[in-house]
Amino acid sequence: MLEKYKAVRARTEALCEPLKIEDYIPQPVDFASPPKWHLAHTTWFFEEMILAKYDAQYQRFHPDFAYLFNSYYNTIGERTLRADRGNISRPTVMEVYAYRVHVDHAMGTLLEVEKDNLALLELVELGLNHEQQHQELLITDLKYTLGHNPLFPVYKPDFDLTRQSDQKTDFISINEGIYEIGHNDNAFAFDNEKNRHKTYIQNFSIKNALVTNGEFMEFMADGGYNTFNLWLDEGWSWVKSADVKSPLYWHFIDGKWFIYTLSGLREVNPNELLCHISYYEAMAFATWKSMRLPTEFEWEVASNQIEWGSRWEWTNSAYLAYPGFKVASGAVGEYNGKFMINQMVLRGASSATAKHHSRSTYRNFFHPQMQWQFSGIRLVK
């Protein structure tokens, strides 16, 4: 566990190596947190959830960090507003890195002493998966910040996470029947993946490839963003109020569509997989194609027959509890359950997901208007 701890923590810092000091702080919108906050919050998790509980000798790095870097845990106490994370110019970036060193040293000692404490190890495993989630959020949040800089700055020349393509065109047929859904082995899983349960699935066919940029450009050229009867009512309101005319990071320049990537601005490749799409856009496109999105249960049943992992895939399932789901006691119980309202489930993983952080039962979830994740579309008929 100690080696895994070191590896996960090191990757977070490696993601920040290309950054300039000015990149660590900006927060252009409330849902995109600055890199400095991600570095500190993931450290706060180990300090607050583990060291403060299991190490009687532990000395906190700074008395105000519990307030500054708590995200949404009401059980822990007061916290800064999410929209104010970019206003935290102090502590400095160097102090945050020193905070990580301080906590990592204490965690290393604790894991050597308590290496047989199963309750502790389970909590560390949760903390590491939590940090892997934030590694992907760090990438997506940073891309949002840099992607709204008028100079379209390069994060890293070889760090373009949108170049995947798939030439498959076939549909895979799934027979109706009763299937088991959810996580049911000894490997790690979040609580929202449990309990495993049975569900009935009708006959359906699912495409063995995600929608491409070229396919979506056909939707756009056919007036997709201007045809109200393709859209859910809330989706149409979102399109009009936000003046949405293309996927996020697309720019129409001199008669051509360009896309901002973390390696810079380049022309949209029609053969590459569509990325940064909202649930509303996914639904409108599926309607335009006279098809639909899969439910999350259909997706899981088909997951061993389709290729997935390049994009988070929107499903037509609301984010709700599985039968028998129970909210854990204490702060850990705030991790998933309280967000089971007004959000849609995405399945799979993306090109920005950390290694060993994906499985067919994983349930990601976001509000339907959100585009900034590495999300795409898979069709069902």
Cα angle: 338, vertex 343, 346; to 5 degrees: 110
Of 12-26, 89-103, 163-177, 270-284, the range with the lowest mean pLDDT is 163-177
Q: What is the pLDDT of residue 357?
A: 96
The pLDDT value given to residue 160: 97
pLDDT of amino acid 166: 85
Examine the pLDDT at 293 and tell me if it is beyond 90: yes
Total residue count of the chain as it appears in this document: 381
pLDDT at 272: 98
Domain 171-376 CATH (choose: 1.10.10.10, 3.40.50.920, 3.20.20.150, 3.90.1580.10): 3.90.1580.10
**Span 162-190, mean pLDDT?**
94
Contact of 208 with 308, CB cutoff 8 Å: no
Task: Give the best-scoring range by mean pLDDT among 164-178, 238-252, 335-349.
Answer: 238-252
| pLDDT exceeds cutoff 80 at 334 | no
| Mean pLDDT (whole number) for 52-56 | 96
In angstroms, the Cα distances linking 20 to 51, 167, 256 are 31, 38, 31
pLDDT at 298: 98
For the stretch 190-219, pLDDT in tens is 999 999 999 999 999 999 999 999 999 999
The DSSP call for residue 335 is S
Residue 7 half-sphere exposure toward CB, CA atoms < 13 A: 9
User: Residue 260: its pLDDT value, please?
Assistant: 98
Residue range 5-14: mean pLDDT, rounded: 98
Q: Using CB atoms within 10 A of its CB, is residue 294 exposed (0-12), middle (13-18) or buried (19+)?
A: buried
Among 9-23, 42-56, 68-82, 212-226, the minimum mean pLDDT is found in 68-82
Give 172-216 as a DSSP string: EEE--EEEEES--SSS---GGG-S-EEEEE--EEEESSPPBHHHH
- Cα angle at 240 between 236 and 244, to 5 degrees? 95
pLDDT band at 332; cut points 50, 70, 90: confident
State the pLDDT at residue 134.
98
* pLDDT grade for 324, boundaries at 50, 70 and 90: very high
- With 0-12 / 13-18 / 19 or more C-beta atoms within 10 angstroms meaning exposed / middle / buried, residue 1 is middle
DSSP character string of 41-110:
HHHHHHIIIIIHHH-TT---S-TTHHHHS--S-TTT-----GGGGGG---S-HHHHHHHHHHHHHHHHHH
Q: Is 147 helix (H, G, I), strand (E, B) or coil?
A: helix
Model pTM score: 0.96
Token pair of 208, please? 């063995």
Tell me what the mean pLDDT of segment 65-74 comes to: 92
The mean pLDDT of 322-330, rounded to a whole number, is 88
- Confidence category of residue 167, pLDDT binned at 50, 70, 90: confident
Residue 38's SS3 state is helix
User: CA–CA separation, 257 vs 243, rounded Å?
Assistant: 17
| More reliable by pLDDT, 166 or 22 | 22
Distance between CA atoms of 3 and 294, rounded to whole angstroms?
39
Q: Distance between CA atoms of 80 and 157, rounded to whole angstroms?
A: 35
Q: Give helix then strand counts, H and E, for the chain.
A: 10, 11
Give the 3-state secondary structure of residue 164. Answer: coil
Please give the pLDDT value at position 8.
98
The overall average pLDDT reported for the chain is: 96
* Residue 150 C-alpha from the chain's centroid: 25
**Rounded CA separation 255/130 (Å):** 43
Report the C-alpha gap between 210 and 274 in whole angstroms.
8
pLDDT exceeds cutoff 90 at 327: no
Q: How much is the pLDDT for 329?
A: 78
Residue 19 one-letter amino acid: L
Q: CA-CA distance, 306 to 285, in Å (whole number)?
A: 20
